[in-house]
């Protein structure tokens, strides 16, 4: 049933013991055992003064060496000299000079830090595991009857067997097996697992539903549009996996420098050993009055431990992966650390209007009949003309007819004229639907001025006006494209983050663009633009607000679009953001950041999360580098003034710093989600009063 583990996966078997031993949990378990033995040895030796307590130290050291030597061997096989080898070498040398407790402490904390780091990484992948849990294991598919007379029936099949065109039934509480379009029924779909939206989405015939979302309403039937392996759920899982494998520029630099740095640490330790022993005359190894070790070799070993860059190397990936996981849980896909960095730097934004600030699906508010025209007849004719069209306006007219219970008239024939409209014949009379110029010849002369007056008022309000003319009658469809949720607060929220200006770039007419812009608080409007004009506008913004300008010498220009017709402008931006794109292949492939929901509140939330991630990385690096510098200086100065830094203090400072860095990064997983925005209020329609013989308009 839906929600169970995928049946297509092979049955689980116990993992081989080496895999269990060297897993993250195995490392934590081994470190815990080593830590207990180390503590017992310390209690027996320091507390009770028993001589045989050193056996506990050596056993603890041996447990740590099992994991340390494995990691060092893997590095050696790749001809790398890295931190794993430094730590094993440091612990081995500590044991060699008669300090097994310090060596055991080093490996205990090193293995514990590695295990906890592995568990932390696994936790940041919880979003992926959660998505895998959404893959259903069964679907109800309609099987047609055979020619022999056997009736058709619903049969349970594996989702992987579904192909485009199959009919499926989704019952209440079930997961949707793959992307599909509803044909029969209406329901509510919980998309929180993919989009982070708290409220279910109401769906009806013609709406698309997505794999992995949950039917929380009525049963419905749908037509499959994509096979399971190409569904939105699988594409999103692949994107998050790819994002987790990408590295930030800072991390790439650290990766390049880690091996030379490790070699440098080794060289510096050897140099300190030789200088202390040969130049300053320190003993190679000696014992102080309390029985503790000191001398040139002890100083070199301590320096090797404290200068190892464990915390530096883990500073960036833990924070980046935690941010990617938290964002995915909130319906935002960061395509790697570089996308996070670019979004955090963003200082100015250019936005598309249709499909971005607005939903991009016009809806009929009113059909305004002119003169003696009958609104019901005109709506039936218009719905008949648009029966086979995929244009958004056609969909809006068909939806209006269905909502009002108006049966579309059947056209004898219909002809589509690009850029003008559609024509057809009903009951022997021609009909035109579209622009005024397209419909004018069928509008009675005495009604033309009135139609132009109504149409002009509609356009002044920033709404969409479409003219219908048939059988001596005429009317104007009044449509509007609703603003998305969160559009009203977006500009103010971005301003609070220091991001501005916010520029609207649209190909729509200026009157409509300025009305939408005024409603959402945008003052810089560039309308009636071709795609190349949008690219030029983005480049001008980059000259003013790109990198090298702005606070602290950094900046960037973001473009927010619907990911379909904004591809050139998105490509020209420093960071591209596609919104409302759970089912859009173009958005998922082209944008740096994809917002799966339709609430614009996710944009400032994503910016804040990116900036917090960047700040945590900076704190991690500053802390790690400072700790290395302070302990290295303390080691060198202490050896010269007779106050040798104890090796165990260096071990605690080094590995403790690594644990603190991991813990700091994991705070990103607890970041609050975006506050859901209110739905936009619908504005009343005010048009010229109808003439005395006009039929009552259909309100919307």
DSSP 46: I
Residue pair 27/64 in contact by the 8 Å Cβ criterion: no
- Residue 161: left (phi > 0), alpha (psi -120 to 50), or beta? alpha
Which residues contact residue 463 at a Cβ distance below 8 angstroms, ignoring those fewer than 6 apart?
365, 478, 479, 480, 512, 685
The gap from C-alpha 34 to its chain's centroid, in whole angstroms, comes to 40
> Is-contact 139 62, C-beta < 8 A?
no
Q: What are all long-range contacts of 578-587, with beta carbons under 8 Å and residues at least 24 apart?
A: 579/356, 579/484, 579/603, 580/355, 580/356, 580/359, 580/360, 580/484, 582/191, 582/194, 582/195, 582/210, 582/232, 582/236, 583/179, 583/208, 583/210, 583/232, 585/235, 587/562, 587/563
Burial, 260: exposed, middle or buried (Cβ in 10 Å; 0-12, 13-18, 19+)? exposed
CB-based burial of residue 428 (10 Å sphere; 0-12 exposed, 13-18 middle, 19+ buried)?
A: exposed
With H, G, I as helix, E, B as strand and everything else as coil, classify residue 407: coil
Q: Which of 303, 310, 307, 292 is nearest to 270 (CA)?
A: 303
d(CA 594, CA 344): 15
Known catalytic residue: 282? no
Strand partners of residue 224: 180
User: Which pair of tokens denotes residue 345?
Assistant: 């730097």
CA distances in angstroms from 11 to 6, 8, 180, listed in the order given: 10, 9, 29
Question: HEC states along 479-501?
Answer: EECCECECHHHHHHHHHHCCCCC
Active-site choice (166, 282, 352, 599): 352
- Report the SS3 class of residue 531: helix
Q: Return all residues near 134 (Cβ < 8 A) that are at least 6 apart.
A: 175, 193, 194, 211, 212, 213, 233
Token pair of 294 as six digits: 């000191």
35 to each of 41, 49, 56, 109, how far by Cα in Å? 10, 19, 10, 8
What residues have CB less than 8 Å from 636, skipping those under 6 apart? 272, 299, 303
C-beta atoms surrounding 376 within 10 Å: 17
Q: Specify the DSSP element, H or E, that contains 524.
A: strand 524-526
SS3 content of the chain, % helix, strand, coil (to 5): 50, 15, 30
**CA 531, 534, 538, 541: dihedral to nearest 10 degrees?**
170
List, by residue number, the catalytic residues: 352
């Amino acid at each position: 049933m839906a929600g169970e583990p995928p049946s297509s996966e092979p049955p689980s078997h116990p993992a081989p013991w080496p895999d269990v031993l060297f897993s993250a949990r195995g490392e934590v378990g081994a470190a815990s055992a080593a830590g207990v033995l180390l503590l017992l040895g310390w209690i027996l030796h320091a507390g009770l003064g028993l001589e045989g307590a050193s056996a506990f130290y050596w056993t603890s050291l041996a447990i740590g060496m099992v994991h340390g030597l494995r990691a060092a061997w893997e590095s050696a096989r790749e001809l790398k000299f890295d931190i794993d080898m430094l730590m094993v070498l440091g612990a081995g040398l500590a044991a060699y000079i008669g300090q097994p407790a310090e060596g055991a402490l080093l490996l205990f904390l090193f293995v514990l830090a590695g295990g906890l780091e592995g568990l932390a990484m696994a936790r940041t992948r919880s979003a992926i595991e959660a998505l895998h849990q959404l893959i259903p294991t069964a679907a109800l598919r309609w099987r047609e009857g055979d020619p022999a007379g056997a009736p058709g029936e619903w049969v349970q099949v594996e989702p992987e067997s579904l192909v485009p065109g199959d009919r499926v039934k989704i019952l209440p509480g079930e997961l949707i097996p793959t992307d599909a379009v509803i044909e029969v029924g209406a329901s509510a779909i919980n998309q929180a697992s993919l989009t982070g939206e708290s409220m279910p989405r109401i769906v009806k015939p013609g709406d698309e539903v997505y794999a992995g979302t949950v039917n929380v309403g009525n049963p419905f039937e749908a037509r499959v549009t994509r096979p399971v392996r190409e569904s939105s759920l699988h594409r999103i899982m692949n994107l998050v996996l790819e994002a987790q494998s990408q590295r930030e520029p800072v991390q790439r630099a650290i990766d390049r420098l880690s091996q030379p740095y490790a070699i440098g640490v080794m060289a510096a330790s050897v140099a300190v050993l030789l200088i202390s022993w040969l130049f300053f005359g320190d003993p190679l190894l000696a014992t102080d009055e309390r029985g503790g070790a000191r001398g040139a070799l002890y100083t070199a070993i301590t320096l090797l431990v404290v200068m190892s860059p464990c915390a530096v190397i883990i500073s960036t990936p833990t924070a980046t992966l935690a941010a990617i996981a938290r964002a995915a849980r909130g319906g935002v896909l960061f395509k790697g650390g570089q996308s996070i960095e670019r979004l955090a730097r963003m200082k100015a934004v250019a936005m598309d209007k249709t499909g971005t600030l607005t939903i991009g699906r016009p809806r009929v508010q009113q059909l305004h009949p002119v003169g003696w025209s009958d609104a019901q007849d005109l709506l039936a004719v218009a719905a008949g003309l648009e029966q086979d069209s995929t244009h958004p306006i056609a969909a809006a007219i068909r939806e209006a007819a269905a909502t009002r219970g108006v049966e579309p008239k059947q056209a004898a024939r219909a002809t589509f004229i690009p850029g003008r409209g559609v024509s057809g014949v009903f009951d022997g009379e021609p009909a035109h639907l579209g622009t005024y110029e397209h419909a004018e010849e069928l509008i009675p002369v005495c009604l033309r001025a009135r139609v132009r007056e109504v149409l002009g008022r509609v356009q002044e309000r920033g709404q969409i006006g479409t003219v219908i003319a048939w059988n001596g009658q005429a009317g104007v469809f009044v449509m509007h494209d609703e603003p998305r949720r969160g559009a009203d607060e977006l500009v103010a929220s971005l301003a609070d983050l220091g991001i501005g200006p916010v520029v609207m770039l649209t190909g729509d007419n200026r009157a409509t663009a300025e009305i939408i812009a005024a409603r959402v608080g945008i003052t810089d409007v560039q309308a009636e633009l071709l795609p190349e004009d949008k690219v030029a506008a983005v480049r001008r913004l980059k000259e003013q607000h790109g990198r090298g300008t702005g606070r602290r010498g950094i900046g960037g220009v973001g473009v927010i679009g619907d990911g379909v017709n904004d591809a050139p402008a998105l490509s020209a931006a420093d960071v591209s953001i596609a919104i409302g794109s759970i089912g859009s292949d173009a958005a998922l492939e082209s944008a740096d950041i994809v917002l799966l929901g339709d609430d614009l509140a996710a944009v400032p939330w994503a910016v804040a999360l990116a900036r917090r991630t960047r700040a945590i990385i900076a704190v991690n690096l500053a802390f790690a580098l400072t700790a290395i510098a302070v302990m290295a200086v303390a080691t060198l100065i202490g050896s010269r003034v007779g106050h040798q830094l104890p090796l165990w203090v260096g071990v605690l400072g080094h590995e403790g710093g690594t644990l603190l860095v991991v813990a700091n990064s994991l705070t990103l997983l607890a970041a609050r989600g975006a506050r859901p925005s209110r739905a936009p209020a619908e504005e009343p329609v005010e048009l010229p009063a109808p003439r005395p013989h006009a039929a009552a308009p259909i309100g919307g």
